[in-house]
Amino acid sequence: MGARLLYLLLLGLLYEQPRGDRSFTIDDDQNCFKKDGVCFHYISGSIHYFRIPAIYWKDRLMKMYMTGLNAIQIYVPWNFHEPEPGMFNFEGDGALEHFLDLANETGLLVIVRPGPYICSEWDMGGLPAWLLNKKDIVLRSSDPDYLSAVNSWLSVLLPRLRPRLYNNGGNIISVQVENEYGSYHACDYSYMRHLFHTFRLYLGDDVVLFTTDGNTDRELKCGSLQGMHATVDFGPADDAKKAFDLLRRYQPTGPLVNSEYYTGWLDYWGGNHSTASPQMVSHGLQTILEMGANVNMYMFEGGTNFGYWNGADYKEQYKPITTSYDYDAPLTEAGDPTEKLFALRSVISQFLPVPEGPMPPPTPKYDYGVVKLQKVGDITDFLDILCPGGPIVTRYPITFEDAKQYFGFMLYRTRVPWEIPDMTSLSDPFNGVRDRAYITIDGSFTGVLERDHVRMINVTGSAGDWLDILVENMGRINFGSFVNDLKVKCITH
Ligand SMILES: *[C@@H]1O[C@H](CO)[C@@H](O)[C@H](O)[C@H]1NC(C)=O
Ligand SMILES: *[C@@H]1O[C@H](CO)[C@@H](O)[C@H](O)[C@H]1NC(C)=O
Ligand SMILES: *[C@@H]1O[C@H](CO)[C@@H](O)[C@H](O)[C@H]1NC(C)=O
């Protein structure tokens, strides 16, 4: 009898925890996360592997670990991993699984935010520009063309994450679905439900899925969904209590989470570098931790928008993000610890044991001396090298997307149709220059047209002169209603 009871008890235990001692769950009675059955709080920092050369990943992770963080939070940029439909890249600076291994080795848990939309001040918020090959596609909605591309991407990405979930022996503790969906105009619940079911299908029923939104009613209403844990984001200047009180109306139980506690802010071309003081940021962190909440600091290291990957905002006008994504984060763009990092570390040490030992030093710098630039010619001298396939000949100008050249520059050229002896306007009445056009006539530079800023310049020319318009794509909009940011050129004169 005794033996039988023991057997039943054991069976009961096994049944409750089918995967041994590893579990990461939400406890709605104690209002906390539970790791291996014990209440657990995370103090996490955002780091974007795609903004840091892979050789530095380990160094940055080590510095985050030594600050006392127990987790990191990452986005996964779809457009970076699927540059052409059906062509996937998980190598080099896109070696997501290698990055996850390094984080695990370092002793850091991971919160993954696979989008498909990620904002992140990244070109088109992480959505591939090739989605715009269907001109009227409704992004971030139940549009069948959009969903079919999303399904195909998630069927590749999510199975790679599954074995790395905490419950399956890995270090991923939770997964975010979409990103601040409540601030998008569509407010399409079927879309969010579709994503929810797709994530469940590939990741299983026991992984913690969550959403993140700004702390307003409209955002939480459109962004949260039953079955997923709602979280908010806010910065040091916001009232943490007010933000969490609002969150409680949508997420009455479970742990409180600020998924993006802002350590600094992004920069725009032509603007000043954004900063936030170490005192203010560390004080705000203290307030959040004293409330027993979980927090992710956005960013902990910002890094760099290499190549043409930066995005843009649209607030009354087009505002492209700079190449630097330093963010005034606790680790600089170069990966060096700052006064802010040490201020945060001393706050963290009141709540968690901070690892013993020295902080790894700043990355060594090298003086390359003066770099002299020498002009070797004009762009038009190198057209057969830059465009070996020859020009695309069309009756009307086509978009970058139509030309399947999604980034960088495109040269539009035509002949001046008749004599223009007097100053005559070359204008862009539909504000179609996306985003900056350098104009030359017969090889001489004549001026610049710029989206939202310069809509008209005066030119002269002779019949038959080359009129060259070199258009620069300065980054696709990553936030708000205008994410269908076709790089159109439509100039008339
Ligand atoms: C994660 O790291 C631990 C040691 O810290 C190791 O035992 C485990 O095998 C690692 N897991 C993976 C998926 O690499
Ligand atoms: C940048 O900062 C300077 C000095 O504080 C100020 O005068 C200037 O207006 C700022 N520029 C912009 C674009 O905000
Ligand atoms: C272009 O020329 C017209 C008339 O010659 C003049 O009124 C106008 O100010 C000029 N515009 C620019 C942008 O130079």
Q: What distances in angstroms separate CA 164 from CA 98, 100, 153, 248, 420, one per listed residue? A: 11, 8, 18, 31, 66
Span 244-264, mean pLDDT?
Answer: 98
- Closest Cα to residue 330, out of 290, 349, 302? 302
pLDDT in tens, 183-207: 999 999 999 999 999 999 999 999 9
pLDDT band, very low/low/confident/very high, at 21 (cuts 50, 70, 90): confident
Q: Distance of alpha carbon 381 from its chain centroid, rounded?
A: 37
Nearest CA to ligand 3 atom 8: 458
Determine contact, residues 408/436, Cβ cutoff 8 Å. no
Whole-number pLDDT of residue 345: 98
- What's the rounded mean pLDDT across residues 432-461? 95
How does strand 312-315 pair with strand 317-320? antiparallel
491 pLDDT higher than 70: no
What pLDDT is recorded for position 472?
A: 97
Q: Give the pLDDT score at 459.
A: 96
pLDDT above 80 for 18: no
Say what the pLDDT of residue 11 is: 43
pLDDT interval class at 10 (50, 70, 90) = very low
Residue type, 145: D
- Does residue 269 line the site of ligand 2, with CB under 6 A? no
Ligand 2, atom nearest to 271 Cα: 13
Per-residue three-class SS string for the chain: CHHHHHHHHHHHHHHHCCCCCCCEEEECCCCEEEECCEEECCEEEEECHHHCCHHHHHHHHHHHHHHCCCEEEEECCHHHHCCECCECCCCHHHCHHHHHHHHHHHCCEEEEECCCCCCCCEHHHHCCHHHHHCCCCCCCCCCHHHHHHHHHHHHHHHHHHHHHEHHHCCCEEEEECCCCHHHCCCCCHHHHHHHHHHHHHHHCCCCEEEEEEECCHHHHHHHCCCCCEEEEECCCCCCHHHHHHHHHHHCCCCCCEEEEEECCCCCECCCCCCCCCHHHHHHHHHHHHHCCCEEEEEEEECCECCCCCECEEEECEEEEECCECCCCCCECCCCCECHHHHHHHHHHCCCCCCCCCCCCCCCCCCCCCCCCCCCCCCHHHHHHHHCCCCCCCCCCCCCCCCCCCCCCEEEEEEECCCCEEEEEEEECCCCCCCCEEEEEECCEEEEEEECCCECEEEEEECCCCEEEEEEECCCCECCCCCCCCCCCCCCEC
pLDDT at 19: 54
Cα 425 to ligand 3 centroid, rounded to whole Å: 7
pLDDT of residue 490: 45
Q: Is the pLDDT of residue 493 over 80?
A: no
Task: Classify the phi-psi angles of 152: left when phi > 0, otherwise alpha if psi is within -120 to 50, otherwise beta.
Answer: alpha
Task: Compute the distance between CA of residue 80 and CA of residue 49 in angstroms, rounded to an integer.
Answer: 11
The residues with which 45 forms a beta bridge, in sequence order, are: 72, 297
Q: Would you say the CB of residue 424 lies under 6 angstroms from ligand 3?
A: no
Separation CA 98–CA 439 (nearest Å): 45
Strands 420-427 and 456-461 turn out to be antiparallel
| Amino acid at position 455, single letter | R
Burial profile 53-79: b = 16 or more Cβ within 10 angstroms, e = fewer: ebeebebbbbbbbbbbbbbbbbbbbbb
Our mutation pick for probing the ligand 3 site, out of 428, 458, 459, 493, counting the most ligand atoms within 8 A of Cβ, is 458
Cis, bond preceding 116 (omega within 30 deg of 0): yes
Task: Decide if 312 contacts 304 (C-beta within 8 A).
Answer: no
Q: Is the pLDDT of residue 2 over 70?
A: no
List b or e across 142-160, with b for residues whose CB sees 16 or more CB atoms inside 10 angstroms: ebeebbebbeebbeebbeb
Taking only the tens place, the pLDDT of each residue in 388-443 is 999 999 998 899 999 999 999 999 999 999 999 999 999 988 888 999 999 999 99
Q: Which of 420, 425, 448, 449 to mutate to test the pocket of ligand 3 (most atoms within 8 A of CB)?
A: 425
Percent of the chain residues past pLDDT 90, beyond the cut: 90
Average model confidence (pLDDT) for the chain?
94
> Distance between CA atoms of 374 and 366, rounded to whole angstroms?
23
CA distances from 87 to 134, 158, 359 (A): 18, 16, 40
Of 416, 408, 399, the C-alpha closest to 487 is 399
Rounded to an integer, what distance in angstroms lies between the CA atom of residue 263 and that of residue 446?
Answer: 43
Q: Check if the beta carbon of residue 462 is closer than 8 Å to that of residue 417.
A: no
206: left (phi over 0), alpha (psi -120 to 50) or beta: alpha
Compute the distance from residue 385 Cα to the ligand 3 centre, in Å.
37
344/69 Cα distance (integer angstroms): 10
Q: Which residue has the tokens 């079919």?
A: 148
CB of 272 closer than 6 A to ligand 2? Answer: yes
- Looking at residue 488, what is its pLDDT? 60
Instruction: Inform me whether the pLDDT recorded for 271 exceeds 50.
Output: yes
Ligand 2: which residue has its CA nearest to atom 12? 271
Catalytic residue among 121, 180, 219, 450: 180
**pLDDT-derived band at 85, boundaries 50, 70, 90:** very high
Report, as an integer, the average pLDDT of 68-81: 98
| Percent of the chain whose predicted confidence (pLDDT) is above 70 | 95
pLDDT at residue number 213: 98
252 lines ligand 2 (CB under 6 A): no
Whether the per-residue pLDDT at 7 is higher than 60: the answer is no
pLDDT one-digit tens code per residue, 327-368: 999 999 999 999 999 999 999 999 999 999 999 999 889 999
Q: What number is the average pLDDT over the span 367-382?
A: 94
Of the ligands numbered here, which is closest to the C-alpha atom of 165? 1
The answer to whether 260 is a known catalytic residue is yes
Ligand 1 binding pocket includes 104 (Cβ within 6 Å): yes
Strand 466-472, strand 71-75: pairing: unpaired
pLDDT value at position 81? Answer: 98
Residue 162 has pLDDT above 60, yes or no: yes
Residue 146 has pLDDT above 60, yes or no: yes
Instruction: Name the more confident of 245 and 15.
Output: 245
> How far, rounded to the nearest angstrom, does the alpha carbon of residue 289 sit from its chain's CA centroid?
25
Alpha-carbon span 127 to 149, nearest angstrom: 10
For 251, how many CA atoms within 13 A lie in the half-sphere containing its CB? Answer: 30
Tokens of 293: 């909440």
Report residue 331 as tokens: 């680790």
Which ligand 3 atom is nearest residue 457's CA?
Answer: 13
180 assigned to active site? yes
Q: Which ligand is nearest to the CA of 161?
A: 1
Q: From the CB of 422, is ligand 3 less than 6 Å away?
A: no
The CB of 271 under 6 Å from ligand 2? The reply is yes
Q: Compute the C-alpha angle 226/231/234, nearest 5°.
A: 150
Residue 12 has pLDDT above 90, yes or no: no
Region 233-259: what's the mean pLDDT? 98
Closest residue by Cα to atom 13, ligand 2, is 271
Q: Quick one: pLDDT at residue 361? A: 93
Neighbours of 456 (CB within 10 A): 12
Average pLDDT of the segment spanning 102-118 = 98
